Chain A
Amino acid sequence: MEAFTRHVGTAAPLRRSNVDTDQIIPAEYLKRITRDGFEDGLFSAWRKDPDFVLNQPQYQGVSVLIAGPDFGTGSSREHAVWALQNYGFRVVLSSRFADIFRGNSGKGGLLTGQVPQEVIEQLWDMVEADPGTEVTVDLEARTVAAGNLVAEFEVDDYVRWRLLEGLDDIGITLQYAEAITDFEGSRPAFKPVTQ
C-alpha cells in the first residue's frame, strides 16, 4: 500500500446525507473480478444527471470529497473504496462514517477524516464559492486546511500509523503466526469444521 502523509487537492461538495454504498457503486458493477477500473461505476446513477456535482466542469480533477453525515452506509463492498480511489479521490471528509466502509478505506489507503458537521458546512460553502480552493489534508498533524480554515479531524491511531507507514495488515499479522497456532491448540473440540 502506498504511504499517505499529506495531500493537497481540490474538493467536491456532496451535499447529501446517508450516501449508501449502493449509491457509491451499484451492485451491477460488482460482478467484475479485478480491483481496478471501477471509476465508471462511481455514483453512476447520479452521474446521469448533468447537474450532479462531479459532472460540473469546475469540479473536474478533484481528489477530496466533502460529504454529508453517515457516508458509506449499507453493504460491505470494498468496491466502494476502489471506485472512489479509481476515480481519483484520496480523501473523504464527513461528520460520520459507516463502520465497515471506514474499515475498508483504511485497508485500501483511502483516508476518511471525521470532522464536525459545521466544518463540513464551512468547507461546502468555501469550495462552492471558489471551486479552485486547495484543501490540505495532513495525516501527520491530523488537520484539514482550506483558506483561513484549519480543523482537526479524527482518525483511528492504528489506521493512521498504518497509512503513514504504508503497511500491509497481513504481513503484520503473520509475524504472530506462533500465537495463532497456540490459540488453535486451545480451541474446544466441539467447534465445527466445514469439511
Chain B
Amino acid sequence: MGRTLAEKLWQDHVVRQADGEPDLLYIDLHLVHEVTSPQAFDGLRAAGRPVRRPDLTLATEDHNIPTIDVDKPIADPVSRAQVEALRKNCADFGVPLYSLGNIEQGIVHVVGPQLGLTQPGMTIVCGDSHTSTHGAFGALAFGIGTSEVEHVLATQTLPLKPFKTMAINVDGDLPDGVSAKDIILAVIAKIGTGGGQGYVLEYRGSAIRALSMEGRMTICNMSIEAGARAGMVAPDETTFEYVKGRDHAPTGDEWDAAVAYWRTLFTDSDAIFDAEVTLDAATLSPFVTWGTNPGQGLPLSASVPSPDDASDDVDRVAIERALEYMDLTPGTPLRDIAIDTVFIGSCTNGRIEDLRVAADILRERTIANGLRLLVVPGSARVRLQAESEGLDTIFLDAGAEWRGAGCSMCLGMNPDKLTPGERSASTSNRNFEGRQGPGGRTHLVSPAVAAATAITGHLSSPADLD
C-alpha cells in the first residue's frame, strides 16, 4: 500500500524503532527563541550536557521585544533579562543567534523560510506551536514544549508516537478577494479547535496548488488552531522556485540531488488517510471570527450567532461565555461591529505579500478617525523589502504606524497590546480571551479585510469600499 507524505517523512527520519516505545526521530532543524528556551539551557547546564548540533540550531529574538526604539535597550527589565539570557545561552553553547538590530532578525517562522533553511523533506521543531508554518514546504514541522527543546538541544532527536493523517481537500477557484487566511479560518470553523488533535493535516487540491508559498505558510501556520500539531503541503515547482537561490539553499549538484529527492515527496495515489475533509474553494468568502476561539468564525456576511444555535450544552455555554466576553449581541451583522485597532502582522500574515495586499487597499486612502493601525513586518528583511517598494509610505500616508519586526500585538507579551475592552481586527492567529492584552477583544481576519476595516472603522471587505 502507498504511503502518505507525512508517513514518508516520518520513516526517513527514524533513528530507532522498538516495540512498545515511541520512535526516535531525527530533527533536521531546531529553531529557538527567547521565551521557551531559558529553562532548557539551564537544564543542559545542570546536567553538564552540550548542544549536540549547534549547526542545526538557529535562534532569533521575536516574542517579547519592542517594535519601536529597537536601537535602545529594552525598557521592560523582565523582558530585557530574558533576551539577555538568550544571548548568553547562545554564546555559551555556540548557537547562532540573530539579535534585535541584525538584518536577519525577525519572527522565527518568517526567518527560517526566508533564509532558505526551511526545505522540503525536513523535520523542523521549535518551542512554538506555530512551527507548523514550515510544513508549507513539505516538511514535517511542529511545536514542542521546553522539556522537548532541551531534549533536542541535547540529542538532536525526539521520541514520538506517529501521528494519524488527515487530508484537507480544497478544490476549485477562490473568488476574488478571498485568500489563504479565509481558507484556513473556514477549515477550522468546519472541523473545530479539536478536530485535528492527533493528526498531521495535509492540505491538497487545486486551490492549495494555486497558492503562493506565502499563502501556503498562512494555512499551515494555523493547523494548530484546528488542534493539529502539524500541517503540510506536498512540494512542487512553486516550492522549488521559492527555495532556489536563498542563502542556505543547496547549489550545483547538491541542488539537483535535493530536487530529485523532493520530487518523491507526495502522497501516493493508493495511500489511505485516517480522515478526509473537503471544502469547495468557489463557495468561500471573507471569513472573520466573532468569538474567543479560532473555531468560532463565520463569513463576514453573516451575523453574530445565538446560544440557541448550539449543538449541545457544552457548546451553548461556550457561545454564551464568548458573547459576554466579546460584548456582542446575537443577530448583529458582523459588518456592523466597530473596531478600535487593526493589527497587520504576525507569523500568520506578516510577510511581504500580506503587506502588498494591505498596501494596495490603503493606497490613497486614510484610516477611520480615532482608529489605530499597526503594521508590523514579520522580519527585518520584510521591512526592508516593503520600504524598497514604497509600501511604508502608503501605510504612513494612510495614518498607520510602521514598526520594526517582531511578534508584536499577536500575543500581548511586549509593549504592543490592546487595553481592556479595546476591540481589534487582527491578521494574527488567536482570538483567545486576553490574547492581545488583558480584556482585549480580537476578531481574526485576512490582510485584505484588516486593511478595509481600518478604512471604514467596522469589519469590512475591500468590496465594501467602492
Contacts and interface: CB of A to CB of B under 8 A. Distances in A.
A58 interface: no
B251 to A, nearest CB: 9
Nearest to B54: A195
B257 A190 contact: yes
A103 B148 contact: yes
Given A27-B411, A33-B82, A194 B96 contact: yes
B125 to A, nearest CB: 10
B56 interface: yes
B433 A73 contact: no
B148 A22 contact: no
B274 interface: no
Interface stretch (B20-28, B330-338, B447-455): B20-28
Nearest to A101: B145
B431 to A, nearest CB: 10
A35 B78 CA distance: 15
A28 B412 CA distance: 7
A158 B161 CA distance: 10
Given A180-B26, A194-B56, A18 B193 contact: yes
A174 interface: yes
Interface in A46-96: 68-70, 73-79, 81, 96
A57 B435 CA distance: 29
A32 B364 CA distance: 44
B122 A76 contact: no
A112 to B, nearest CB: 13
Contacts, number: 211
Interface in A158-195: 158, 169-170, 172-174, 176-177, 179-180, 183-184, 187-195
Given A33-B39, A70-B194, A176-B15, A76 B127 contact: yes
B146 to A, nearest CB: 4
A15 interface: yes
B318 A18 contact: yes
Chain A interface size, as a band, is 35 or more
A67 to B, nearest CB: 12
Contact of B147 (A30, A45, A169, A190): A169
Given A107-B148, A194-B96, A189 B430 contact: no
Contacts of B76: 31
Contacts of A192: 28-29, 116-117, 119, 248-250
B81 A74 contact: no
Interface in B1-36: 15-16, 20-22, 24, 26, 28-29, 35-36
Given A98-B227, A179-B24, A193-B56, A22 B434 contact: yes
A34 interface: yes
B299 interface: no
Nearest to A162: B159
Contacts of A28: 412-413, 438
Contacts of A34: 39
**Residue with the greatest number of chain B CB neighbours at <10 A, chosen from A33, A78, A107:** A33
Interface in B156-191: 156-157, 159, 161
B261 A69 contact: no
B202 interface: no
A177 B49 CA distance: 13
B254 interface: yes
**Residue with the greatest number of chain A CB neighbours at <10 A, chosen from B56, B58, B81:** B56
B38 interface: yes
A169 B28 CA distance: 20
B63 to A, nearest CB: 8
A170 B254 contact: no
Nearest to B89: A33
B224 to A, nearest CB: 8
Nearest to A169: B151
Given A100-B144, A169-B159, A183-B15, A74 B430 contact: yes
B47 interface: yes
25 contacts: A18-B295, A22-B432, A28-B438, A30-B36, A30-B63, A31-B81, A68-B314, A76-B145, A100-B224, A100-B229, A104-B147, A157-B20, A169-B147, A173-B151, A173-B155, A176-B16, A180-B156, A187-B28, A189-B254, A190-B254, A194-B55, A194-B56, A194-B57, A194-B96, A195-B96
Interface of B: 15-16, 20-22, 24, 26, 28-29, 35-36, 38-39, 42, 47, 49, 52, 54-58, 63-64, 76, 78-79, 81-82, 85, 96, 116-117, 119, 122, 127-129, 143-148, 150-151, 154-157, 159, 161, 193-194, 197-198, 224, 227-229, 248-250, 254-255, 257-258, 261, 292-293, 295, 314-315, 317-318, 321, 411-413, 430, 432-435, 438-439
9 closest A-B pairs (Cβ-Cβ)? A27-B413, A107-B147, A104-B145, A78-B145, A33-B38, A76-B143, A190-B258, A78-B146, A190-B250
Given A74-B224, A189-B254, 10 more contacts: A22-B411, A23-B432, A31-B78, A74-B129, A170-B49, A176-B24, A191-B122, A192-B116, A192-B250, A193-B55
